[in-house]
Structure 1
Amino acid sequence: MKYTQLGRTGLKVSRLVLGTMNFTGEADATDEQSSHALMDAALDAGINFFDTANIYGTDEEKGATERIIGSWFAQGGGRRDKVVLATKLYGNMTNDGTPWHQQSWPNHDRLSALNIRRAVDASLTRLRTDHIDVYQFHHIDRATPFEEIWQAIDVLIRQGKILYAASSNFPGYKIAQANETATARGLAGLVSEQCLYNLFERRAEMDVIPAAQEYGLGVIPWSPLHQGLLGGALRKEREGTGSRTHVGRSATGLADPAVRAQVEAYEKVVAEHGMEPGEVALAWLLGRPGVTGPIVGPRTAEQLESALRAVELDLPASLSASLDAIFPGPGPAPEAFAW
């Protein structure tokens, strides 16, 4: 495994981030025993950066994923000490069947000082640890000023409950606003941004990634295969394998003739170079400026092994040129939409 610094910090993290959103304990996702086995395999492979969120689980048991990680930590063997643990807060955490993105009761979601205090204590309990290494804001909160947010984070850092603060799904201007407010308070500010970024979805290159680089944030792409679209979706469709081919962005994308043509061209050029689509998509991200490491969410040991191969994969210049031709990026702002 290769390692890098997380943004401008002294923290060393693996070039792959283990995503745990599939760890819900449900039979149709990844059950607890299988989740533990995958975390053990990731740690054995040198992956030390684990990402989760307080809302991961089910509508009836939000927090199930953190609970599963906590039960894994409780097995000992140095598991917690070896892991750089990142979790998130923002969504509604009432376990009454209400979807996480809908408010069920006031002050049980978003980034008020009250909810930050409540959320971090609940996550620590589920995770069975005394601190969170990277505490991430899962979304911007337009109703709460950053002065209030940083006051709450400063308290948590002084209490030793969190070490670093970070963002997810922030636009570039909010990254700037957050860090300028933190600087005015003498705080470190955000250290990383977790954003949707992959070959197919490159809009982060317009201002999110430049803002992250300007302020020294590491970039952590989520959905690096665009929910299966870049993981050999057409081949799996022909073979009748891969359940993700029929859901989410993959299903929606393949129904669009233009997108289907792009994916067909992608799989063809990757095959001509004797490589695997999913591994190429990860390797491309690993070579992008500012990227710390993509989040991979394996459901099986084979998927984890495939992701690990991507770390050692060098893309030929001819293939990189072909990828840019198939999936052209928007370019930086303002040139992307102005002169």
Structure 2
Amino acid sequence: MNLSKSLAATLIAGTSFFGTVAVADEINVYSYRQPELLKPLTDAFEAETGIKTNVLFAKNGLVDRLSSEGQNSPADVLLTVDVGRLDAMKKADIWQAIPADVTANLPAEFVDPDGAWAALSLRARIFYVSKDRVEETAMSYEDLADPKWKGRVCTRSGQHSYTIGLVAAQIANNGVEATKTWLEDVRDNLARKPTGNDRAQVKAIYSGECDIAIGNTYYMGKMVTNDKEPEQKDWAASVRLIYPGAEQSKTHVNISGVGIAKNAPNLENAKKFIQFLLSNDAQAIYAETNFEFPVVPGVASSDLVASWGELHADTLPLASIADKRDEASKLVDEVKFDEGPQN
């Protein structure tokens, strides 16, 4: 994979190459998180600690890059936006345990049992529903299978990591056979073949193509504050949010997270960086700038996010959900979810 141009173009506060020798006042970060989302946090970390933060951003390939670099890797930490990528880091054996005292203030479900990774923020997989055409104010994921929604549901590809995470959570909570039946019924309630990103689903509701869509919470924040593309504000104004929840299955959440590289040359700075990201100040930055939920108990969501309702997150350990992702992907293909309704 030729990453040289794209990676060099997106370096933040660093040079085009990282050295492999430990430097007392630096840390090297490999990141799947977009630079504009990460910069407020790295700026605050540098201001507080004086440690220069070199960030290498890429959409794909960083786990493979770490593996191929081996002992010569300059990376200290890996930041990502999906527990599946964190699990891939663990399976590739390119990590070392985050000390328990660093993650002591996190709920157990948001930390890998072996310390391979820790959550930094939460994003909930919720429903966008039409303000004009949907009366319901409370629903569960199981409700998506109800025939009343036939021809009224929109979603992105079943093989997208967000969807795989939700299907994996259904398997972990309800078993493979029940999830297969549910997935088939949801497929047959679709208004179209799965396509587009989460914002495209809201646009489809706005245009009348469907009445309910599955999406991540923070996209609503991105749309309602999007001055560069004001049409997205109109899309957002056409929907309201419902946090899916029932006694047997509360709202599914995924994470942005972090792991320490196996051969981190600046290990102490890596620990300091994670401690900072789990501090109340950094958690508030996540909440205010990225419209995500803080993972540290007691840190409030932004006023905008709080206005959408209260999150009751599934407390199933994310490591258990990550273990079901391969099964989820196979199930999506087995039921031909991305081909759309079968009857």
Normalization by structure 1: what TM-score?
Answer: 0.30
Highest relative contact order (Cα 8 Å, sep 6+), 1 or 2?
A: 2
Normalization by structure 2: what TM-score?
Answer: 0.30
